Amino acid sequence: QGVARAGEALNGLLAEARAGQPIRMGAVEAGLGPILTAVREGGLARWLDTVWTHDDATYQHCLLVAGHAAQFSLHLGFRHEDQFRFVRAALIHDVGKARIPLEILNKPGRLTPDEMSVMRTHAAIGHEILVAGGERDPITLLAARHHHEMLDGSGYPDGLAEGQIGDIVRLLTICDIYAALTERRPYKPPMPMADAMAILSAMDGKLEARLVQSFGESLKAAG
């Protein structure tokens, strides 16, 4: 039920963004409580198993990231309000992908350099969509624009580094990369947790090692 309610909210948001219509964040917020409740009461594994039954790549990815964000925030002992804001940002961080051509967005396998350049516009586009829709929450806006920034300055779209990247964005980036590594696709099996965590750990300098370790602990705590 939590996946269904969150999915309905996410589908509506992406459809509005794809059609160039003003987005309605109130509908999204109605799906946030069920995510936290589902992960807290049913466990992360059950949430992921349900999400993986959906085929749409962007839909699946956003729900996976939201589930991992819920588990991470519970593990870190966030206040309920902060859990809510973090999961909210996680659920809609990729809204800009609604404006990426489907032949690029859903391409199986590696993108060409030109296709990758188009794909990388989604972060700035997502920020623009949210601002145009009246979004004011700084965490949500920063998450949409900066979730591909890296601590060494090698990320995009703004090439931020170190202290320019806030803690919540750092947490979300870890959830985002892990979800991308472990999600299921018709053309590739999901990567085992240990392998995905090894990749995250090897990104020391790009990701904050202390937070990567804590994320791994949150996964183990989830069983």
Q: Where are the domains of the chain?
A: 2-222
Q: What is the pLDDT of residues 122-176, one digit of tens each?
A: 999 999 999 998 899 999 999 999 999 999 999 999 999 999 999 999 999 999 9
Q: What is the pLDDT of residues 8-59, one digit of tens each?
A: 888 888 899 999 888 888 777 777 888 888 898 888 888 888 887 776 788 8
Catalytic residue flag (residue 220): no
pTM score of the predicted model: 0.93
Residue 197: its H or E element? helix 193-201
* CA–CA dist 193, 217 (Å, integer): 12
112: pLDDT strictly greater than 90: yes
Task: Give the pLDDT confidence score for residue 38 in this predicted structure.
Answer: 86
Mean pLDDT over the full length of the chain = 91
The DSSP-derived string for 106-125 is T-SSPPPHHHHHHHTTHHHH
- How would residue 202 be classed by pLDDT, with cut points 50, 70 and 90? very high
Query: Are the C-beta atoms of residues 214 and 170 closer than 8 Å to each other?
Result: no
Task: Give the pLDDT confidence score for residue 76 in this predicted structure.
Answer: 96
Architecture of domain 2-222: Orthogonal Bundle (1.10)
